[in-house]
Amino acid sequence: MIGIEPERVQFSWISAGEGERFANIIEKITNEVKKIGPATRLVKGAKQ
Amino acid sequence: MIQNLRMEVKKLLKDKKVDIVLGWEKGSLPLSSTPLFIHEEEDVDRLIFDETCRNNLTTYLTKDKRKLGKTYDKIGIIVKGCDARSIVLYSIEQQIKKENVVIIGVPCNGVLEKKKILRKTENKEILESKIDGKNVHLKGRDFDMIIPLNEVLCDSCLTCRYPDAPVHDIFIGKPRKEVDIKDEYKNVIDFEKKSSEERWEYIKEEYSKCLRCYACRNVCPACYCNECFVDQNDPQWIGKTPEVTDTIIFHLIRNLHVAGRCVDCGACVSACPVDLDLRIMNKKVEKEVKERFDYTAGLDINEKPAMASYCENEKQDFIMG
C-alpha cells in the first residue's frame, strides 16, 4: 500500500521438517530481491 | 430538538441518574464549539448541538478522565454516531462499564471541517456565521459568503454510514437511519490501483509534512494507552526524528494499532496542523478488516474485537505457496 516493492515482503509457511522447501523458497526470494537491487525506500538517508 | 435534549438532560440530573453530562456549548469564535460539563440544572441552557460540535467527547471517559477533576460513578454523554461507536469500543475493550454511562444519541448531519472553511475564505477571519439546513453563511471584514454545507463537512461525514448512535440509552430527535454509501472506499481503491512507485512518491510527499506533534494520537478515541509506543525510551521502538522514514513508521504503527478499532470519526484529520492525508491509510485498514473479517468497529457491543478473535475460514492469501 505505501509503495514498498511487493517482492521485498513475502510470507510463507514452512514446517521444520521441510528443509528442501525452505531452501527453495529462500532461493526464490533472494533471486527476486537481487533483481530489484538494494532498498531505497524507507531507508534513512538514502537518495530517493 | 435542542429543547427536547435540554429537557432530557435536566430530567436525568434531577432524578440523579447521572452526576455529570458531557455535551457542547457555543465556542468563543464563530463556527466553534467547546466541551460543556453539566453538573447543575441551570447550566443545561448553554447546551447546543449542531454542525460545529466536532469534538469526540468520549475521550473524557478514558484517557482524559482526570481532566474532569474527579471520578464520577454515572456519566451522561451526548453522542454523534461515531462517538457512540467509540463508546462501544471502550466497552468491548473493558475500558468502561457500560452501566456507568448513559448514552444520549442525537441525529448528526455531519460536522464542519475548519480547514476546508479556511481554504474557502483564503484564511480570512470570520466574524459572523450562520448555518441553515443546506448552507453556511459567513461574514468577515471585507467578504460575505454562502457555502453549500457539503463542501465544508469533514470527509468522514461525507461517507458516514452510521450518523445515529448504533448503541444508545436515549435517543433525541429523529434518527437518520443507516445511510447507504457506495463509494466510501473510492479513494483507497483508486490509490491501490497505482503503481508501487507512484504510491511511494505520494506517501513520501504526504508524510514528509508531518511534524510529529502527535495531535492525531492525542485526539484519537482509540489511542488511550497510558504509555504510547512513541513515548517509550526503553526500549525505544521507533526513531524520534521528523525524518520521513521515521514519520512513516510512526503513522503505519498507529494505523495497525487502531486496525479494526478506528471508527473513522475524523478527529485526527481535523486535528492535524499540516493537513496530512491521514484518512487514506485509516480507510485502507478499515477496508481490509471489513473484507477479511467481515467486521466494522463499534457497532455491536457484544462482539469480540476483530484482532482478538480467530475464525478458521479467514483469508490467508498473503501467504505464498
pLDDT tens digits, residue range B27-68? Answer: 998 889 999 999 988 899 999 998 999 999 999 998 888 888
Q: Tell me the residues of chain B between 57 and 96 that have a Cβ less than 8 Å away from chain A.
A: none
Instruction: Say yes or no: B147 and B167 in one domain.
Output: no
- Grid-cell match 503513522, residue found: B251
pLDDT for position B295? 87
Contact present, A33 and A8 (Cβ < 8 Å): yes
Distance from the B314 Cα atom to the nearest Cα atom in chain A, whole angstroms: 16
Q: How confident is the model at residue B294 (pLDDT cuts 50, 70, 90)?
A: confident
Which residues on chain A place their C-beta less than 8 Å from a C-beta of chain B? 1-6, 10-13, 25, 41-44, 48
pLDDT on residue B178: 76
Give, as one character, the DSSP assignment of residue B50.
S
Are residue B186 and residue B148 in the same domain, yes or no? no
Q: Is the pLDDT of residue B119 over 70?
A: yes
B196 CB neighbours in chain A (<8 A) are 3-6
For B199, name the nearest residue in chain A, comparing CA atoms only.
A3
Nearest CA in chain A to B192: A1
- How many separate helices (H) and strands (E) can be counted in chain B? 11, 10
Provide the pLDDT confidence category of residue B321 given band limits of 50, 70 and 90. low
Q: Which residue is listed with cell 491521514?
A: B278
SS3 at position B217: helix
- pLDDT at residue B170 greater than cutoff 80: yes
CA distance, residue A29 to nearest chain B CA (Å): 11
Mind listing the pLDDT tens digit for each residue in B251-277? 999 999 999 999 999 999 999 999 999
Contact: B196, A43; criterion CB under 8 Å? no
Among residues B96, B125, B152, which one ends one of the domains? B152
Position B46 scores a pLDDT of 92
B85 lies in the same domain as B205: yes
Choose from A1, A9, A15 for mutation: most chain B CBs within 10 A. Answer: A1
Distances from the Cα of B276 to the Cα of B114, B119, B268, angstroms: 14, 15, 9
Examine the pLDDT at A47 and tell me if it is beyond 70.
Answer: no
Are residues A2 and B197, on separate chains, in Cβ contact within 8 Å?
A: no
Average pLDDT over residues B206-232: 91
Is residue B252 a part of any domain in this protein? yes
Q: B7 and B98 in one domain?
A: yes
B249/A42 touch (CB, cutoff 8 Å), yes or no: yes
For residue B318, list chain A residues with Cβ-Cβ distance below 8 A. 11
Q: What confidence tens digit (pLDDT) does each residue in B185-216 have?
A: 888 889 889 888 899 889 989 999 999 999 99
Residues 6+ apart with CB under 8 A from B310: none
> Is B317 a domain residue?
no
C-alpha B304/C-alpha B295 separation (Å) is 10
Asked whether residue B249 falls in the same domain as residue B303, the answer is yes
Residues B30 and B163 in one domain: yes
User: Is residue B319 in a domain?
Assistant: no
> With left for phi above 0 and alpha for psi between -120 and 50, is residue B294 left, alpha or beta?
left
**B200 and B128 part of one domain:** no
Q: Are residues B249 and B109 in the same domain?
A: yes
Question: Which residue type sits at B240?
Answer: K
- Mean pLDDT of all residues belonging to chain B: 89
Residues 176-205 of B with CB under 8 A from A: 191-192, 196-204
Query: How high is the pLDDT of residue B182?
Result: 80
Contacts of residue B229, Cβ cutoff 8 Å, sequence gap at least 6: B237, B238, B253, B257
Task: Kindly tell me if the per-residue pLDDT of A48 is higher than 90.
Answer: no
pLDDT value of position B88: 93
How many domains does chain B contain in total?
Answer: 2
Residue B215 lies in a domain: yes
Q: Hey, how many other C-beta atoms are within 10 angstroms of the C-beta on B140?
A: 15
Specify if B292 maps to a domain.
yes
| Nearest residue, CB atoms, B199 vs list A2, A12, A13 | A2
For residues B157 and B144, state if they share a domain. Answer: no
Residue B173 located in a structural domain: yes
Same domain, B78 and B199: yes
User: How close does chain B come to A9, measured CA to CA in Å?
Assistant: 10
Min Cα separation B311/chain A (Å): 18
Q: How much is the average pLDDT of B1-7?
A: 88
C-alpha distances in angstroms, B76 versus B15, B20, B178? 13, 6, 24
Given B203, B243, B320, which is nearest A3 (Cβ)?
A: B203
Give the pLDDT confidence of A4-40 residue by residue, as tens digits.
Answer: 888 888 888 889 999 999 999 999 999 999 998 888 8
pTM of the model: 0.86
CB contact under 8 A, B200 and A3: yes
Average pLDDT of the residues in B287-297:
88
* Whole-number Å distance between alpha carbons of B203 and B236: 24
| DSSP character at residue B44 | G
Last-in-domain residue among B152, B181, B206: B152
What are A8-15's contacts with CB under 8 Å, separation 24+?
A8/A33, A8/A36, A8/A39, A10/B320, A11/B318, A11/B319, A11/B320, A12/B319, A12/B320, A12/B321, A13/B319
Residues of B in contact with A1 (CB under 8 A): 191-192, 199, 281, 284
Are B230 and B132 contained in the same domain? no
Radius of gyration of chain B (CA): 20
Whether residue B193 is found in the same domain as residue B104:
yes
> Which contacts qualify for B116-119: CB closer than 8 Å, 24 or more apart?
B116/B151, B116/B152, B116/B153, B117/B31, B117/B147, B117/B152
Percent of chain B having pLDDT more than 70?
100
Using pLDDT thresholds of 50, 70 and 90, give the confidence band for residue A46: low
Classify residue B57 by burial, with Cβ atoms within 10 Å: 0-12, 13-18, 19+: buried
Distance CA A39, CA B232 (A): 28
In a domain, B32, yes or no: yes
d(CA B134, CA B121): 18
Residue B131 sits in which domain range?
114-152
Nearest to B248 among A2, A11, A25 (CB): A2
Chain B residue numbers touching A5 (CB-CB < 8 A) = 196
- Give dist(CA B28, CA B34) in Å, integer: 8
Q: Which of B124, B152, B180 is the last residue of a domain?
A: B152
The most distant pair of C-alpha atoms in chain A lies apart, rounded to whole Å, by 42
Flag whether pLDDT at B87 surpasses 90: yes
The reply to whether B250 falls in a domain is yes
